[in-house]
């Protein structure tokens, strides 16, 4: 029998079911065990967890709200502690590195926002920042220094640009950097991104480009400079495809990006000195793999199929980072976010 201490907790937001499902993940086998479904009306989609693991923040796209839930450290159960109204539909939420602010992006409302977090851990109203950028804003995060923030915008319905900001961690305010944006020369459509855990390198999934682009981060200026773009697709593939989210292993050794169309997850190794990527293959997934994530130990991947609603699990090869399929589980309607964490309980 696997003990509770060896298990990881998994949250999956099923937007069309108005619910978040809670699972345990066996840290030895990757097996998922469903625990409960928490009702969250208004189309729950993006999720973010506080640095202390005490609060889960949920963007509710249908009702245009942000809700904050206290996490039971023993059971991973959720208790609502606050909800604030929004002026748009949140597609991404993330906490700053201090845990004092909740950042969010709004694709249709062309906006990046920041909400302060109260003493109880809940997002507060009004936002300290509601800044118009451009159509197609898809994500927002602060860098490891917590001094800079980036907001990627896709290409076909947006400007094909990454907006660059200075972030004031004492006030939560965003100030356009100089230059205020990076515009790729190619038709890439930067959508989501991850920071390398130790290198000054940032990786963006390119929605329209079917690729991943690696950028050097100038840690003094807070600006990006690309140094590599690599395809997520097999050679010769010419059918329609778009990339979605992107994740990096906690070790920084492996990186993953799903393909919607080819319906696969592409894997890459990361050079520990330069940050350059080398493709190591791809594995088939459930149809339209939009949401996915890695466990905190970097041993397993869970992928949600947007069309099928099922969850597929994979084991990560610790030498090359390639994925081996494990099991497929029934999930729900329209999985929009997958988040795994290890709690204190």
CA dist 259 and 194 (Å) reads: 17
Q: Quick: pLDDT tens for 85-113.
A: 999 999 999 999 999 999 999 999 999 99
Asked if the structure places residue 1 within a domain, the reply is no
Strand partners, 56: 49, 69
What integer is the mean pLDDT of 325-337? 98
10-61 pLDDT, tens digit per residue, is 999 999 999 999 999 999 999 999 999 999 999 999 999 999 999 999 999 9
Classify each residue of 73-110 as buried b or exposed e, where b means 16 or more C-beta atoms within 10 Å of its C-beta.
Answer: eeebebeebbbbebebbbbbbbbbbeebbbbbbbbebb
Q: Determine the pLDDT at residue 3.
A: 42
| Residue 2 reports pLDDT greater than 50 | no
Task: Give residue 344's pLDDT band: very low, low, confident or very high (50, 70, 90).
Answer: confident
- At 1 the pLDDT is 34
pTM of the model: 0.97
Distance CA 167, CA 150 (A): 10
Q: How many distinct structural domains can be found in the chain? A: 1
- pLDDT above 70 as % of the chain: 98
Q: Give the torsion through C-alpha atoms of 109, 194, 249, 73, to 10 deg.
A: -50
Of 76 and 6, more confident: 76
Q: Tell me the per-residue pLDDT of 254-271, one tens digit each, with 9 for 90 and over.
A: 999 999 999 999 999 999
Across the range 197-213, mean pLDDT stands at 98
| Domain hosting residue 111, numbered range | 40-332
> Per-residue pLDDT averaged across 295-299, rounded?
97
Identify whether 271 is part of a domain: yes
Tell whether 15 is covered by a domain.
Answer: no
Residue 270 · residue 253 · CB < 8 Å: yes
CATH number at residue 73: 2.130.10.10
Mean pLDDT, all residues of the chain: 96
- pLDDT of residue 6 exceeding 80: no
| Alpha carbon separation from 194 to 28, 138, 149 (Å, rounded) | 26, 13, 12
> Is 4's pLDDT higher than 50?
no
pLDDT score of 190 more than 50: yes
- Inside any domain, residue 206: yes
Domain-embedded: residue 343: no
Residues 219-244: tens digit of each pLDDT: 999 999 999 999 999 999 999 999 99
Tell whether 309 is covered by a domain. yes
- Residue 143 lies inside a defined structural domain of this protein: yes
Distance CA 168, CA 186 (A): 32
Domain-embedded: residue 339:
no
Say whether pLDDT at 114 is over 60: yes
């Amino acid at each position: 029998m696997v003990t509770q201490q060896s298990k990881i907790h998994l949250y999956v937001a099923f937007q069309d079911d108005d619910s978040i499902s809670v699972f345990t993940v066996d840290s030895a086998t990757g097996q998922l065990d469903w625990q409960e479904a928490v009702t969250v009306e208004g189309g729950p989609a993006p999720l973010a967890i506080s640095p202390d693991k005490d609060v889960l923040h949920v963007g509710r796209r249908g009702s245009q709200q942000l809700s904050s839930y206290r996490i039971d450290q023993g059971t991973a159960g959720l208790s609502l502690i606050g909800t604030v109204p929004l002026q748009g539909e949140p597609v991404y939420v993330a906490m700053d590195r201090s845990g004092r602010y909740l950042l969010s992006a709004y694709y249709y409302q062309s906006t990046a926002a920041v909400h302060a977090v109260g003493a109880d851990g809940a997002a507060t109203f009004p936002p300290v920042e509601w800044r118009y950028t451009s159509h197609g804003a898809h994500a927002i995060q602060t860098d490891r220094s917590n001094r800079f923030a980036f907001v990627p915008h896709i290409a076909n319905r947006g400007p094909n640009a990454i907006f660059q900001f200075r972030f004031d961690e004492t006030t939560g305010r965003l100030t356009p950097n100089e230059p205020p944006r990076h515009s790729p020369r190619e038709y890439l459509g930067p959508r989501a991104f991850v920071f390398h855990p130790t290198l000054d390198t940032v990786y963006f999934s390119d929605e329209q480009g079917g690729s991943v682009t690696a950028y050097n981060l100038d840690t003094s200026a807070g600006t990006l400079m690309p140094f590599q773009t690599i395809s997520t697709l097999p050679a010769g593939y010419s059918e329609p495809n778009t990339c979605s989210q992107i994740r990096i292993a906690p070790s920084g050794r492996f990186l993953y990006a799903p393909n919607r169309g080819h319906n696969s997850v592409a894997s890459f190794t990361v050079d520990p000195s330069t940050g350059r990527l080398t493709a190591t293959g791809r594995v088939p997934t459930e149809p339209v793999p939009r949401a996915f994530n890695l466990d905190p130990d970097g041993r397993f991947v869970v992928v949600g199929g947007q069309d099928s609603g099922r969850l597929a699990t994979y084991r990560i090869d610790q030498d090359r980072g390639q994925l081996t399929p494990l099991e497929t589980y029934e999930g729900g309607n329209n999985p929009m976010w997958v988040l795994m964490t290890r709690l204190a309980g």
